[in-house]
Amino acid sequence: MSRHQVELEVRGRKVQVVLTEMDGRLDVTCDGEEASFEIQSEDADEVVLQSAQGLRRVWFHRDRDRVSVFCDGESLEIRRASAEDRLQGGTDDDDDHATLIAPMTGTVVAVACQAGDAVAEGAVVCVVEAMKMEHPLRAPFAGRVLTLSCEEGATVDMGQVLARLERDGADESTKE
């Protein structure tokens, strides 16, 4: 049995997560809410989970202290919440900035905005097609697109930065 308890930062909010893996099962408790999964397969950057709601394929990309998770057309960035862990990781993202990265090697099939555009929380910024599936990359908060590093038809590599976003009302001195 493997059990991990950690405090994570998800979309600027700290959450308590407990992961328990035993005999091909993964039990997750996040801020008191529980979910159970049967692990169908796993490798370095992908896991396939079966739950009562059906089969879920989850891709993830690690970069220092940050993990980008892609599932069900959503992307999410997760970091350890402690200041000590953040200092060791050295990432430049903060609560007011987000980096959207390609979930896997594929082709950009749609770009919904350009640098400087305002975006609503959850708005699609671009869509990457990989393994015959479309993966929309969405704004994690309302804000504006600082940079857009992709164009329709371009081939992108897993982990490649596609856009940088800034939250509405972010301090002007925190811009790159």
Tokens of 59: 């891709």
pLDDT at 42 over 90: no
pLDDT of residue 116: 95
pLDDT of residue 154: 96
Q: pLDDT confidence of 171, banded at 50, 70, 90?
A: low
User: Residue 23 corresponds to which amino acid?
Assistant: D
More confidently predicted of 61 and 94: 61
End-to-end CA distance of the chain: 44
Contacts of 38 (CB under 8 A, 6+ apart): 24, 25, 26, 49, 50, 51
3.40.50.720, 2.40.50.100, 2.20.25.90, 3.40.50.261: CATH of 93-174: 2.40.50.100
pLDDT of residue 174: 46
Beta carbons within 10 angstroms of residue 7's beta carbon: 12
pLDDT of residue 158: 81
* CA dihedral (91, 80, 137, 48) positive or negative: positive
Scanning the structure block, which residue is given the tokens 């940088």? 164
The 3-state DSSP class for residue 83 equals helix
**Tens digits of per-residue pLDDT, 160-170?**
889 999 998 87
For 11-112, strand residue ranges (E) read 13-22, 25-30, 33-43, 46-51, 54-63, 66-71, 74-80, 97-101, 106-111
The C-alpha atoms of residue 113 and residue 35 are separated, in whole angstroms, by 35
**Domain boundaries 2-85, corresponding CATH code:** 2.40.128
Q: pLDDT confidence of 130, banded at 50, 70, 90?
A: confident
**Tens digits of per-residue pLDDT, 5-30?**
777 877 777 888 888 888 889 888 88
Helices (H), 24-150: 83-89
**Tens digits of per-residue pLDDT, 98-123?**
888 888 889 999 999 999 999 999 89
Q: pLDDT confidence of 124, banded at 50, 70, 90?
A: very high
**Tens digits of per-residue pLDDT, 45-87?**
888 899 888 998 888 877 766 787 888 777 777 776 654 333 3
Mean per-residue pLDDT over the chain, rounded: 81
Q: What residue segments make up the domains of the chain, in order of their start?
A: 2-85, 93-174
* CA dihedral (69, 75, 80, 83) positive or negative: positive
- Give the containing element (helix H, strand E) for 119: strand 118-119
